[in-house]
Amino acid sequence: MVIRPGTRPLVLLAALLLAALAACGRGGSPETPPAGAPPPGRQSGELRLFGADPVTLDPAVATEVASAGYIVEIFSGLVTFDRDLRIVPDIAERWEVSPDGRTYTFYLRRGVIFSDGSRQVTARDFKYSLERALDRRTGSTVALSYLGDIVGAREFRGGRANEVTGIQVVDDFTLRITIDAPKSYFLAKLTYPVAFVVKREQVEANPRGWTRQPIGTGPFRLREWRLGERIVLEPNPHYYLEPRPSLSRVTFLLAGGSPLTSYENGEVDIAPVGLNDIERVRDPRDPLNREFQQVDELSTFYVGFNVRKAPLDDPRIRQALAMAIDKQALASVVLRDLVRPANGILPPGMPGYNSNLQGLPFDPQQARQLLDQAGGPSRLAGLTLLTSGVGGTPGPIIDAIVAMWEQNLGVRIEVRLLDFGTFLTEVDRGNFDLFSLGWIADYVDPENFLDILFHSGSENNHTGYANPEVDRLLEQARVEQDQGRRMSLYQQAEQIIVRDAPWIPLYHSRDSFVVKPYVRGYTGTPFVVPHLRYVTLQR
C-alpha cells in the first residue's frame, strides 16, 4: 500500500496519520463541563486524533494509507487481522479449503447488517463487490494485484466474460472462490480493502457521490466529513463482532498546526512526534518521555525510476544515482534516527528478510565511474523527480537527496511537486522520470512487496521493470508449498532486483508518537489494520 512521499506515516489509525498534516483547534459544544467531565469541546468518550483528507473512501479504488486507515474502520470483508496480526474470521465466520488448495468455501455470519440498518449482508453482496472492483469501469488500479488469482478475474477485467467464474454464490450465506493455483498468501489478500463488501443499492443510486456518506459493515460509520477540517466516526450500532466500539466518537482533525502543542494543550489524545520534537521526547527527564512510544513499520521508502525511457533504461545510471546517496547520513543526520537505512526491498520483520543482502553501497567514486561509462552527467540533463508534499516544498529528505546527487555526481535533478492525488495519477500513468514514494505492507508476506511491485505483469509495477529471471523466481514462489524454499526464492529475486536498481531503497520507517495515559487499548501497528474498537478512555 502506498505511503505519501517525504513523510513517515505515524501510527495513528494504523499508520494513517501524518505529521505534516497535524492539526490544532477545538470543536464541539462550548458549554462549560462540570468537574470530572471531559475538557471543553470534547464529548464524553471522544477520541481526538490527527488525520489527513482521504483520496477516496471507495474500498475498490483506495491504494494509499490515508484512505485505507478510514476504510478499514468503516467497511469490512470476509477475513481480517486480530491484534496479533493473525488472519481471523470477519463476516465469514469460518471457511474450508479444498485438498488441492484452490477452492475456498466461506460460510457467512447470519445477521450482519449494513450500517444504515437496511438489510442483511449475503453472499451475493460479496460477488457484486468483488466483481465491481475488477470491473474496468470502476477504475481500480489494484484489483488485479489482489484479486487476479481468482479464476476468470482477468477475463472479466478484459471484457471477455460477463462474470468472474471463480466467484460462486452457493446460497445466501455460502460463497465459493476458486483460484488458479494453490497460493499460501491468497487468504491474506482478502484482508485488503479491494475485497471489502459494499452496498449495491447505494453505489448504483449514486455512482459518483456515494462515498461522501458510505454505508459499510465495519465497527464505525462516517458521521461527518468536512474537507480540510475534520472527519468524525461514530460506532456502527449494527456491528457484529466483540468487542464492539466503546468510544462515543472518533474525531480526526485535518488542518495544519503543531501536533505536540495541541497534545500538551489537551486538544488531542494521541500525537505524532516529528523531527523538531524527537530529541525532547527521547529525554528521560522530560515528562512526555513516559508517554512516548515507537513502532517499527513494515515499510520501505524509495526513489523509483522509469526504466522504460532513456537514459534511465541504463542500469549503470540507476546504480550511479543509488550509490551517490549516503543512506546512513539520511537516516541519522536528516531524520535523526527516526528510520533505519534500507539495503533492500523487504523491511526487517517481514518473512524472507535477508540481513545478508548485498545492497548497493554508498560509493561516490564508483558512482562517478558508472555514470562516466554510461555517457557522463550530461545524459541526466532535464530529468525531473516527481514528488508530493505540503507547504510548497519537497521537504528535507528530497532536498538532501538532490544535494547528494549534485555534490557526488555533478548533476542537478529538478523536483516537481504535486498534490498527492495528482501525484498518484501521474505515477499510475507513467508520467515521470523519477518519483519518491513509500510502500507499507498489506499483509505479512514478501509477495506483497516483491511480486506486486516488481513482476513485469503487475499493475503496481510503476517503474516498468522487467527481468525474466525475476519473473521466473516470483512465479515459482507463488505456488511453492515449502515455506523455507519459498523464502529462498524471494531472497534470490530481491538480490537481482537490488542489483538492477529499478528502485533506490532509502529507509524503513519507525513511527514515533505520544499517547495520553487515560487512552487504553491503543497500540501502534506495523501496517494498516482496524483497531479503534479496542480503544477505551479511562479518565
Four-CA torsion 194, 199, 201, 206, nearest 10 degrees: -60
Give the rounded distance of the alpha carbon of 417 from its chain centre: 21
- Whether 308 and 225 share a structural domain: no
- Whether 140 and 118 share a structural domain: yes
Cell numbers that stand for 131 in this block: 466483481
Looking up cell 488458479 gives 180
- Whether 146 and 185 share a structural domain: yes
Helix H or strand E segment including 50? strand 46-50
- Whether 309 and 395 share a structural domain: yes
H helical segments located in 206-288? 259-264, 278-282
Return the CATH number at 359: 3.10.105.10
Return the CATH number at 181: 3.90.76.10
- Whether 322 and 462 share a structural domain: yes
**Do residues 131 and 144 make contact, with C-beta atoms less than 8 angstroms apart?**
no
Partners of residue 434 on adjacent β-strands: 305, 385
- Whether 332 and 394 share a structural domain: yes
**Number of domains present in the structure of the chain:** 3
Residue 41 falls inside a structural domain: yes
Q: What is the pLDDT along the chain (539 residues), one digit of tens a residue?
A: 998 654 433 333 333 333 322 222 223 322 333 334 455 556 679 999 999 999 999 999 999 999 999 999 999 999 999 999 999 999 999 999 999 999 999 999 999 999 999 999 999 999 999 999 999 999 999 999 999 999 999 999 999 999 999 999 999 999 999 999 999 999 999 999 999 999 999 999 999 999 999 999 999 999 999 999 999 999 999 999 999 999 999 999 998 788 999 999 999 999 999 999 999 999 999 999 999 999 999 999 999 999 999 999 999 999 999 999 999 999 999 999 999 999 999 999 999 999 999 999 999 999 999 999 999 999 999 999 999 976 667 889 999 999 999 999 999 999 999 999 899 999 999 999 999 999 999 999 999 999 999 999 999 999 999 999 999 999 999 999 999 999 999 999 999 999 999 999 999 998 899 999 999 999 889 999 999 999 999 97
- Whether 480 and 348 share a structural domain: yes
H helical segments located in 383-467? 396-409, 420-429, 447-454
Residue 280 falls inside a structural domain: no
- Whether 476 and 333 share a structural domain: yes
- Whether 145 and 226 share a structural domain: no
Structural domain harbouring 103: 79-205
- Whether 163 and 307 share a structural domain: no
**Do residues 448 and 442 make contact, with C-beta atoms less than 8 angstroms apart?**
yes
- Whether 391 and 324 share a structural domain: yes
- Whether 8 and 156 share a structural domain: no
Return the CATH number at 7: 3.40.190.10
